Amino acid sequence: MPSSALAVTAAGIEFQNPVLLAAGTAAYGRELANVIDLDALGGLVTKAVSVERRLGARAPRVAEFDGGMINAVGLANPGVEEVKAEHLPWLANKLRRARVLVNVVGNHVEEFGAVVSLLDDSSAVSGYELNVSCPNVRAGGMEFGADPRSLSEVVSRARVATKKAIFVKLSPTLEDIGRSAQIAADAGADGISVVNTLPGLLIDVDTRKPALGFGTGGVSGPGLLPVGVLATYKVARAVQLPVIGVGGISHATDIIQYVIAGATLVAIGTAAMLQPKLPEKLVDDLERWCRDKQVSSLTDLRGSLQWER
């Protein structure tokens, strides 16, 4: 039975625990269905969904290093029509307790709202995560989240298309992530996800070429933990919205750090790819931690950082 200590509500959605699978970790759920009990988790964020099919970046797409992983998948996905016809019905039939957030991407501002509108009648979908770290092709490739006007318009158009929850995923490279979160909130966002990956370059010293086919990629893994925790703290102080803390989580105490910084939910990415059963274990470890520390509810810990300056 779900632990009441771990139950949380975010953006009007009830989650049995705060542990989600981050976007891209489990594709659309089916890939991990025989590996872990998805219904033991709070939920999952799907792989990216765009209006049209995306083939993604050329291989190799992933490389490991001592500090974690770097990837350039290129937001590969089958497109919104196939996701709606094939993947969301499977999720609706399979999951009973875990919630589903659909990660949405686009080449220009109109495409985010278009994807949301096309998927919004699915009973599988509890809400959306807008990846505003992707480039706006109509603005010279600038990230949507780095341009206040584009960020506001992306969220506003998605808001018109749905009454379901909208989370906005922000990049750790933003100059003022709290301000960006406020812009998203003013435009109608119900929550904020932080952080996306950090840009990086890994080189094969034998060939003197990038380790990834695309060249540069997004860095994730343990080293991202303090980056994500700080971003969570900044965003939680800037807006009165639930925060999904993402980055570097591999232990229950990592989750607790995010909660103390202000997160309501967390999402597991790289660690789940290395150890697919880990997210389910983290739920048990988190429940044990709460019991051992006599914490009756994670809500009591949220935003409780004691910072003496």
The C-alpha atoms of residue 89 and residue 162 are separated, in whole angstroms, by 19
The 8-class DSSP code of residue 85 comes to I
Yes or no: say if 193 and 182 are a contact pair by the CB < 8 Å rule: no
Active site residue 290: no
Q: Give the 3-state secondary structure of residue 279.
A: helix
Q: Which of 298, 306, 300, 223 is nearest to 265 (CA)?
A: 298
The C-alpha atoms of residue 83 and residue 128 are separated, in whole angstroms, by 14
φ, ψ at 128 (rounded to 5°): -135, 150
The C-alpha atoms of residue 295 and residue 299 are separated, in whole angstroms, by 9
φ, ψ at 93 (rounded to 5°): -80, -30
The C-alpha atoms of residue 119 and residue 49 are separated, in whole angstroms, by 10
Contacts of 59 (CB under 8 A, 6+ apart): 213
Which tokens in the block code for residue 243? 């925060």
List for the chain the helix, strand, coil content (%; round to 5): 35, 20, 40
Active-site residue, from 21, 38, 130, 134: 134
Residue 176 burial (CB count, 10 A)? 11
Query: Annotated active-site positions, please?
Result: 134
